[in-house]
Amino acid sequence: MNVILASGSPRRLDLLRAIGVEPRVVVPDVDESVHPAEGAIDYVRRVAASKLEAVRSNLGSAAVGTLVVAADTTVEVEGMILAKPTDAADAVAMLGRLSGREHRVHTGLAVAAAVPGCRSTDWEGHVEVVSARVWFRSLSTAEIEAYVATGEPLDKAGAYAIQGGAKDFVDRIEGEVSGIIGLPLERLTDIAAGLGVRLSR
């Protein structure tokens, strides 16, 4: 089974490699802006599904024996979506908003398979949202600014990487850590198994 990762995220690629999967990376061209009045869960579900479809629809006869995996992650606090910061000042503001409180991390996960023996037009697919809860301790202005100065938060939803420098900001979590990073591996392997594909080692 060929696996295609419909995402340019190096973190998602690393997560798949960690379970022994070496996917082909295809970066889809989709609209990732938040639509008016769109909630965080609807947002990541739509974007993940759009990424999946953008890649799947271009495979044609090459589809048979292929699993396509797409995902999109965002942070939600008090009903507000925190996507990737626009600049360092925006990252500082986001981390200040997260300081000392709970927030949720939502990852839209879209998976489709064209298993061997089927026609290239025969796909089975699944789209869902996997969520986790994260509690940050109270952060000082100095430590927020020092973290932002590393550059790590600038391409991350919510302006932080739980697997990186922000791990010390976390009091506790409820949910799958890999989902907070950007690809919930446990759920992905379950979905793939339901589509007849074994992903884990």
In a domain, 141, yes or no: yes
Supply the CATH number for residue 58's domain.
3.90.950.10
β partners of residue 105: 75, 132
199 within some domain: no
Total-model pTM: 0.91
188 is a domain residue: yes
Rounded-to-integer distance, Cα 62 and Cα 17, Å = 23
For 109, the domain range is 2-194
Catalytic residues: 72
- Is residue 200 a part of any domain in this protein? no
Q: Which two tokens stand for residue 107?
A: 């990852």
CA end-to-end span of the chain, whole Å? 14
Q: Is residue 152, in this structure, part of any structural domain at all?
A: yes
pLDDT tens track of the chain, all 201 residues?
789 999 999 999 999 999 999 999 999 999 899 999 999 999 999 999 999 999 998 886 667 789 999 999 999 999 999 999 999 999 999 999 999 999 999 999 999 998 655 554 567 889 999 999 999 999 999 999 999 999 999 999 999 999 999 999 999 999 999 999 999 999 999 999 998 888 875
Q: How many domains does the chain have?
A: 1
Rg (CA), the chain: 17
**CA 111, CA 53: separation in Å to the nearest integer?**
10
